[in-house]
Amino acid sequence: MLQAKFFKPIKKNQIKLFASLKARRLIEKQLSDIKRAGLWKNERVLISQQSSAISVEGTQNEVLNFCANNYLGLSNDYSLMQAAKRTIDSHGLGLVGGRPVCGTQDIHKELEEKISKFHRKEDTLLYGSCFDANTGLFEGLIDPKTDEKVDLGIISDALNHASIIDGVRLAITPVIVGAAIKAFDTISESTELRDKLEENTLYFRKKMTDAGFKIMPGVHPIIPIMLYEGRLANEFADEMLKRGIYVIGFSYPVVPKGQARIRVQISAKHTKEQLNKAINAFIEVGKSKKVI
């Protein structure tokens, strides 16, 4: 019969080490599987301002940017940047805390009023991001910890943004508020940027559809070029970058399995020449990959 003295107790730090090594092996295997499946994404580093043409680390020349939420082309607008700088001088870098505790600033109220007026709504509540806004909305509508028993359910479209499903409320920094106020002033004074965005979007959609690409129908400037396979989407995006076009392949879990795509985002700042260059690059890569 074995005696207990032959068994040495396992120390807490040894247990942590074993768990750490097991977790590391699991993570390494998962990463290896992702690479083997062709779904690994290397982070691209921008070394310029966000614009319709950008500089990307590792590329020799500027590339055309078709992967940004810069729909009206205001991300590096001079007047907005000047407004942001002025706001830093007048209001600092923020309240360093949540609105319920630290309060708000007059510029936040000013922006809320401008947004309400622009959208013809009664009032507005600012959040740090769309993610936070959706989280705050649903937390307010449905509280699982409430004592009240309410039969309420949510029907969500499969293509809804992840922010409608997940996400903490944060105060928006003054510098962003200052630029946002100027942005709403700009788009309230004229529809020129929105008209140009619509024109560019319709042009790109028609040309790509005529070329034989499968595109989800719509009139919005987010244009999914359906490729269905994750590896193909990544390889396609890499080939596009070689041709001076910056786009990203989207695959699971960002989109449902079997629904991989290149998501093109059109800007009002894209010129017709830039749109045509992107379209021609898509056609060239599409033919080489037997997509069209």
Tokens, residue 205: 């959609």
Is-contact 173 88, C-beta < 8 A? no
Annotated domain spans of the chain: 53-72+192-288, 78-189
Strand runs labelled E in the chain:
53-54, 63-65, 222-228, 245-246, 249-250, 260-265
Q: What CATH fold (topology level) applies to the domain 53-72+192-288?
A: Aspartate Aminotransferase, domain 1 (3.90.1150)
Q: What is the pLDDT along the chain (292 residues), one digit of tens a residue?
A: 444 455 556 566 666 666 788 888 888 888 898 888 888 888 889 999 999 999 999 888 999 999 999 999 999 999 999 999 999 999 998 887 778 788 889 999 999 999 999 999 999 988 877 777 777 777 776 665 655 545 666 666 666 666 665 544 447 889 999 999 999 999 999 999 999 999 999 999 999 999 999 998 899 999 999 999 999 999 999 999 999 999 999 998 888 899 999 999 999 999 999 999 999 999 999 999 999 9
Number of H helices and E strands in the chain, helices first, is 9, 6
**Strands 260-265 and 222-228, sheet pairing:** antiparallel
**Topology of domain 78-189, CATH:** Aspartate Aminotransferase; domain 2 (3.40.640)
CA atoms of 122 and 124, how far apart (whole Å): 7
